Amino acid sequence: MTVPLSVLDLSPISEGGTARQALRNSLDLARAAEAWGYKRYWVAEHHFVGVASSAPAVLVGLIAAATNTIRVGSAAVLLGHNTAAEVVEAFGTVEALYPGRIDIGLGRSGQRQAEAVAAAKAAAPAFVRRETEVRDGVVIPAAFDTRNLLTSARAQASHEALAFEGAKAPDYEEQVGDILALLEGTYRSSDGIELHVSPGEGADVQVWVFGSSAGPSAELAGRLGLPFGANYHVAPYSTLDAVEAYRNAFRPSDTLSEPYVVVSADVVVAEDDSTAQELASSYGQWTHSIRSGRGAIPFPDPATAQPLSDTERKLVEDRLITQFVGSPTTVADRLASLQKVSGADEIVVTGVTHGHEDRLRSYQLLAREWGLPALLAA
């Protein structure tokens, strides 16, 4: 039996398009994904870039309203920019209207940036790269050093714009603990005062922790017995390490009796390999805009995108060789290998194309090839 497939949507803005159209496209894709049998529809949180997923709680509510049965959630809310109470109240509001369908995914990007800045000031040791390897058909590329990206002037400006002057993000583990306590109705302030959120307390939501490495997020998710999301589409070089760390740290909880892992993959599917490769041919330019510190540009039109130089391509090579591009059979076979190697209980696919109809078709073809139940019954 194949594992479920889910969707991660960035609400990408296409070159020449608008945020308004990108959001309408997300609602359209969510309705289609539900009809085709995808299990969840998650949205990301990104700011000051060419995607429209900057307010995940709002977008989750809109998508939940536009659909009927599919689970909807965040992958992930960045706790460096949101307090525990804000997260629980926002998602609790949505859950009150769409009960039993809401996921709260939590990420620590804000704290990761602060750690990178501190490491840079402390003259941290030089980054050590490892060679690219292939494990049972799954590419594990050389690691990408994120320190320059996290400490760039643009990253600093973005961080400042999202926080009050002088504000310091609380410890990530404490924030996750506060979220769980607020949901359970057991929250106490530092002075021991009881506080209860409404809506939010008692909400029937699933709390997820997301991580890109064998670091604090993976360990915390395991220790708390929460489901874990491993980001192969962002950090393919450390995903398997993250999954292993999560499983090693796992302790049964009221939420889970055994580990539950979702692994993400960047996917473009078309009727044949050559068509898919053409649709994905500007992915490198888009990824380079992120890696170079400029922030994601609107997704380029493959018909007019300028080729990458050798230097530019080297910066994004790990993302290019780990993108899943091709016919339904090609992509499904590669995803099956990723699932087998990682032991994922679920695969979440994210895909960006310049044309919305091409993106819809990509998800539809994959659903059919994977054998999702709703589509087979249609």
- Copy the structure tokens of residue 159: 């961080």
- pLDDT (0 to 100) of residue 124: 53
Q: What's the rounded Cα separation, in Å, for the pair 218 and 238?
A: 11
| pLDDT value of residue 106 | 97
Predicted TM-score of the model (pTM): 0.94
Give the distance between the most distant pair of CA atoms in the chain: 63
Triad 333, 339, 341: Cα angle to 5°? 105
Q: Which of 251, 250, 208 lies closest to 230, judged by CA?
A: 208
- pLDDT, one tens digit per residue, over 335-369 is 999 999 999 999 999 999 999 999 999 999 999 99
CA distances from 153 to 150, 231, 254, 285 (A): 9, 25, 43, 21
Answer positive or negative: Cα dihedral of 111, 117, 118, 124.
positive
Q: At 260, phi and psi to the nearest 5?
A: -135, 120
Cβ-contact 6, 346 below 8 angstroms: yes
What confidence score (pLDDT) does residue 155 get? 85
- Cα torsion at 172, 59, 5, 356 (round to 10°)? -130
Which positions ≥6 away from 218 have C-beta within 8 Å? 209, 211, 228, 230, 242, 243, 245, 246, 249
Peptide bond into 76 cis (omega under 30): yes
Tell me if 243 sits within 8 A of 216, measured CB to CB: no
Question: How many Cα neighbours within 13 Å face the side chain of 35?
Answer: 12
The low-confidence residues of the chain, meaning pLDDT below 70, are 1, 109-130, 375-378
Give the pLDDT of residue 80: 85
314 with 230: CB under 8 angstroms?
no
Record: fold of 5-377: TIM Barrel (3.20.20)
Looking at residue 164, what is its pLDDT? 84
Q: Residue 88's pLDDT is what?
A: 98
Torsion, Cα of 311, 350, 214, 143 (10° steps): -10
CA count, 13 A, side-chain hemisphere, 94: 26
Amino acid at 267: V
- As a whole number of Å, the CA-based R_g of the chain is 20
Beta strands 133-135 and 138-140, pairing class: antiparallel
| Residue 157 C-alpha from the chain's centroid | 22
Q: What is the DSSP string of 110-165?
A: HHHHHHHHHHHHTTPPPP-----EEETTEEEPPPP--HHHHTSHHHHHHHHHTS-T
Cα 100 to Cα 226: distance, rounded to the nearest angstrom: 17
Given a contact cutoff of 8 angstroms between Cβ atoms, the answer to whether 79 and 163 are in contact is: no
- Cα separation, 258 vs 15, whole angstroms: 44
Give helix then strand counts, H and E, for the chain. 15, 12
Looking only at the bridges linking them, the beta strands covering 40-43 and 5-9 are: parallel
Contact 371, 277 (CB under 8 A): no
Residues in Cβ contact with 164 at an 8 Å cutoff, skipping those fewer than 6 apart? none
pLDDT per residue over 288-318, tens digit each? 999 998 899 999 999 999 999 999 999 999 9
